[in-house]
A and B are shown apart, each in its own frame.
Chain A
Amino acid sequence: MKDLLDSILQGSSFLANLSEVALAILLLAIAGLLFAGVAAVCALVFVYVERKVAAHMQDRLGPMEVNTGIPLLKNIGHGWAQTIADALKLLLKEDIVPGAADRKLHLIAPFIIFCSVLAAVTVLPFGEKLVVSDMNIGVFFVLAITSFSVIGMILAGWASNNKWSLLGGMRSAAQIVSYEIPSGLAVLIVVMQVGSLNFGDIVAAQAGGLFHWNVFRFFPLNLIAFLIAFLATLAEANRAPFDLPEAESELTAGFATEYSGFKWAVFFLSEYFNMFLIGVFLSSLFLGGWHSPFGGLLGGFFDKGLWQPFWVILKAVVIIFLQMWLRWTLPRLRVDQLMYTSWKVLTPFAFGLIFFIGLWMLF
């Protein structure tokens, strides 16, 4: 986006009179609000997709009732407007804060969680030049900023003054914290191979078609690294089969028990946007980012222009579908199985992978 800023400054003489900084802030603020809006829409779409996927996997139909009466859209059917109705409903619900709860912290917690996810999206590339912030430490920044959500969950659990919220919040925090280690290590393997933390460099190193993607190099070690990263980020997003902290039958809604109306919607918006973030993150690191799987076919036609964001979103959607598939297929893990998987299986495997890939790269 720095290029966009520079081109605006050179192009228009009126705008160049404003200071560069003011223009930069304005541009970024507009982009930020746009991304936040897209996050909301994205969450709506994914909630609908999840309900439909869940329904069809369970041999039923899912939401079918809510369609609109607008002439052109009426015939789509299949309850496509269900989540729009849900979102409107949540906006109109009363915001009940329990009397014994801490109002200030109750208010801050959703902000912390949502803002950390939104900040992480700035570094992800949606195309060769389509990245908001071309940071040199992109990968590390995503890892660092997603650890903010731990604080948000603990505060949410605490502020509700409810045993279940507190227990859910603590368990969520312990789970996220345990799975940050294997996730960081698996991502480190890609960084070792590319030699840079910049997302642009990592995606550019995967040019050339399907078999140049990182997941197929150093076979099968990178595949194992991808699996470890996928499982670890799944657990960090509190998705099944790692969703004990928000299991309805166990802890009501976990740390979000005492939240109603729009604040609750923010938690789930963050969760679904986090899923999208993980999809784009993993696809940039392992699945070739904005490169098409066809490589040089048709003179690289599929690798240019609008095809780039298309491939990014397609790959992210595939990963999200995988996440939903796992949720509705596998039973939930117990807390001790969760901890066992992270510390005694994924972390040693990740360390072993670093050792073997290091050896392979040297000889």
Chain B
Amino acid sequence: MLFNFAAPLIFILAGALFIALNLVISRLLQPRFPSVGKATTYECGEIPIGTSWIQFNIRFYVIALIFVIFDVEIVFLIPWAVVFKDLGLFAFVEMMIFIGMLLLGLAYAWRKGDLEWDKPETDKFSREAAPELFEEISARPEKVTGELVG
């Protein structure tokens, strides 16, 4: 069994070696012309204002929290799934109690809005274009061809 687990470990080391080799080759072959412009933070051509610190939404933390709880649940589910075929109804009922508890938790989080993410407020804007603009455009048929207007 130790061989089976050594395999991913050696693969991780081999992968790191592969990338390190390539980075060294790249370092040998690449041009190096450092300049002030290259060292600044990229912001699509604009000069960045202020530090790169943003006040994050607390939602990221809440989602990660709920994830950890359900992750632990999956870890409990896995040994059960492996023996489920051999044990019978009793194991099924026990696990359904377990899952039921955690579904209660999911329902609680759902109800209290922890699973919500910020929605864009599309309801504030009317979905129809201004009617008078529409009238004006449709009243001048000769300008609706491919010619440039104005």
Q: Kindly list chain A residues whose C-beta atoms are within 8 Å of the C-beta of B85.
A: 192-193, 195, 361
Is A178 at the interface (CB under 8 A from chain B)? yes
Q: How far is the CA of A121 from the CA of B10 in the complex (A)?
A: 12
Q: Kindly list chain A residues whose C-beta atoms are within 8 Å of the C-beta of B64.
A: 173-174, 177
Q: Which of A192, A197, A262, A355 is close to B23, meaning CB atoms less than 8 Å apart? A: A262
For the residues of B in contact with A, the DSSP-based class is helix
How far apart are A73's CB and chain B's nearest CB, in angstroms?
Answer: 24
Q: Does A145 lie within 8 Å of B44, measured CB to CB?
A: no
Interface size of B by CB at 8 A reads 70
Q: Which of A111, A160, A184, A340 is close to B74, meaning CB atoms less than 8 Å apart? A: A184
How far apart are A29's CB and chain B's nearest CB, in angstroms?
Answer: 5
Q: How far is the CA of A196 from the CA of B78 in the complex (A)?
A: 10
Q: Kindly list chain B residues whose C-beta atoms are within 8 Å of the C-beta of A243.
A: none
For the residues of A in contact with B, the DSSP-based class is helix
Q: Does B19 lie within 8 Å of A114, measured CB to CB?
A: yes
Q: Kindly list chain B residues whose C-beta atoms are within 8 Å of the C-beta of A344.
A: 110, 115
Is B135 at the interface (CB under 8 A from chain A)? no
Which of chain B's residues has its CB closest to A1's CB? B7
Which of chain B's residues has its CB closest to A188's CB? B81
Q: Does A336 lie within 8 Å of B12, measured CB to CB?
A: no
Is A70 at the interface (CB under 8 A from chain B)? no
Q: Kindly list chain A residues whose C-beta atoms are within 8 Å of the C-beta of B150.
A: none
How far apart are A242's CB and chain B's nearest CB, in angstroms?
Answer: 14
Is B77 at the interface (CB under 8 A from chain A)? yes
Q: Kindly list chain B residues whose C-beta atoms are within 8 Å of the C-beta of A140.
A: 78
- Residues 1-21 of chain B: 1 if any A CB is under 8 Å from the residue's CB, otherwise 0? 101111111111111111100
Which of chain A's residues has its CB closest to B80's CB? A192
Is B108 at the interface (CB under 8 A from chain A)? no
How far apart are A42's CB and chain B's nearest CB, in angstroms?
Answer: 13
Q: Which of B1-51 contact A (CB under 8 A)?
A: 1, 3-19, 22-23, 25-27, 29-33, 38-44, 48
Q: Does B6 lie within 8 Å of A24, measured CB to CB?
A: yes
How far apart are A114's CB and chain B's nearest CB, in angstroms?
Answer: 6
Q: How far is the CA of A1 from the CA of B10 in the complex (A)?
A: 13
Q: How far is the CA of A196 from the CA of B18 in the complex (A)?
A: 34
Q: Does B82 lie within 8 Å of A197, measured CB to CB?
A: yes
Is A252 at the interface (CB under 8 A from chain B)? yes
Binding site for B on A (CB under 8 A): 1-2, 5, 24-25, 28-29, 31-33, 35-37, 90-96, 98-100, 110-111, 114-116, 118-123, 132-136, 140-141, 143, 145, 160-164, 166-167, 170, 173-174, 177-178, 180-181, 184-185, 188, 191-193, 195-197, 252, 257-258, 261-263, 266, 334-336, 338-340, 343-344, 347-348, 351, 354-355, 358-359, 361-362
